[in-house]
Amino acid sequence: MDISIKFSNVDFSIFLGQKVTDVIPIGVELINIKFENGNLNVECPWRLRNRNGILVGSTEQPGNDFLSILKKHLLRTPITNVYHFDPTEDLIIEFNKELYLDLFADSTVFEQYQLYEGENLFLIGK
Instruction: Identify residue 76 by its one-letter amino acid code.
Output: R
CB atoms < 10 A from the CB of 66, how many?
21
Cβ neighbours for 3, distance < 8 A, ≥ 6 positions apart: none
Stated length of the chain: 126
Say what the pLDDT of residue 64 is: 72
CA dihedral of 30, 82, 37, 105, whole degrees rounded to 10:
-30
DSSP annotation of 28 reads T
Say what the pLDDT of residue 3 is: 65
Q: Is the peptide bond before 87 cis (omega within 30 degrees of 0)?
A: yes
Cβ neighbours for 115, distance < 8 A, ≥ 6 positions apart: 15, 38, 39, 40, 91, 121, 122, 123, 124, 125
Q: What is the pLDDT along the chain (126 residues), one digit of tens a residue?
A: 566 778 899 999 999 999 999 999 887 668 999 999 999 999 999 999 999 999 999 887 666 788 899 999 999 999 999 999 988 899 999 999 999 999 998 888 889 999 999 999 999 998
Alpha-carbon distances, residue 35 vs 66, 78, 99 (angstroms): 19, 9, 16
Say what the pLDDT of residue 1 is: 59
Pairing state between β 30-35 and 38-42: antiparallel
Domain segments of the chain as ranges: 6-125
Say what the pLDDT of residue 29 is: 66
Say what the pLDDT of residue 7 is: 86
